[in-house]
Amino acid sequence: MRKLRLVCFLALLSGVFSFAQNEPGDHSFGLNLGTHGIGLDYARNMTEKITLRGRFQALPFKFEDFTSLTLNGKPTIIDANVKIHNVSVLADWYPFQNSSFKLIGGVSYFLNNEVSSDILVNETVNLGEGGEFVFTPEDLGRISVDVEWNKIAPFVGLGFGRAVPNKVVALSVEAGAFYVGEPKVSMTADGLLAGTAESANDLEAALSTYSFLPQINASVAVRIDYRVAMIFK
């Protein structure tokens, strides 16, 4: 099902851009960098005030052996993996003739939109008044948490800068948010911590208000000439 949704989204992306009949020079390629990672842009002017963009971004972020919490004075180690990969169709509307201010709307397909983490105590823990109860990390066990949001998400935002430069190169900045819906949480645990897996619904309820994924992005675009543009006709 996911592959079918991706194929349909890419077909929509291709159809949107082939629909526009543009004059030479109304195209650009760009690089973007922001809170969702790094990526590529392709843009075409539809009219004097509307520009369509196709975008890919990737944020493979991972950290290991991060000490954050303590249990009875012992460090708790967290391994986390954040995956955000998306392709987007965006429309920029420039309401003012002599300004690069723009309003942005669009939709994204997230190939990955999830956070996973493993939590474990890294040292032996002594409990009881005299510390007579000794638990090794293996006794205590491990907690694994996976949080995932919707694959298809609408986007709204605003910014400054033209996706297709008036001259050769242009810089732009934008900010906005995706509506990703309520997250789905799955949790597994073993050892003495096995009972915590029953808290998955509580964690899901606590995260239910986090339905918007904000984004801040900066990009640089380069206008391409007729010979390059003809490749994409």
Contact residues for 5 (Cβ-Cβ < 8 A; gap 6+): 109, 151, 152
How high is the pLDDT of residue 24? Answer: 47
Would you state the structure tokens that stand for residue 188, as one six-digit string? 């597994």
Question: Which phi and psi angles does 143 have, rounded to 5°?
Answer: -110, 130
Longest Cα pair distance anywhere in the chain, in angstroms? 82
Which pLDDT tens digits describe the chain residue by residue (233 residues)? 555 555 555 555 555 555 444 454 588 999 999 988 899 999 999 888 999 999 999 987 665 555 555 555 556 666 777 778 899 999 999 999 889 999 999 999 998 877 777 777 666 766 666 666 777 767 777 778 888 889 999 999 999 999 999 888 999 999 999 999 988 888 888 877 777 777 788 888 888 888 998 999 999 999 986 444 444 45
How high is the pLDDT of residue 15? Answer: 53
The amino acid at residue 125 is V
Domain carrying residue 50: 2-232
The amino acid at residue 49 is K
DSSP per residue, 69-101: EEETTEEEEEEEEEEEEEEEEEEEE--STT--E
> Looking at the 3D structure of the chain, how many domains does it have?
1
Model pTM score: 0.73
How high is the pLDDT of residue 215? Answer: 94
How high is the pLDDT of residue 14? Answer: 55
Residue 109: beta bridge partners? 87, 152
How high is the pLDDT of residue 107? Answer: 94
> Residue 78's domain is classified under what CATH number?
2.40.160.170
What does the alpha-carbon distance between residue 52 and residue 26 come to, in Å, rounded to a whole number?
11
Strands 37-45 and 50-71, sheet pairing: antiparallel
How far does Cα 229 stand from its chain's mean position? 29
How high is the pLDDT of residue 229? Answer: 45
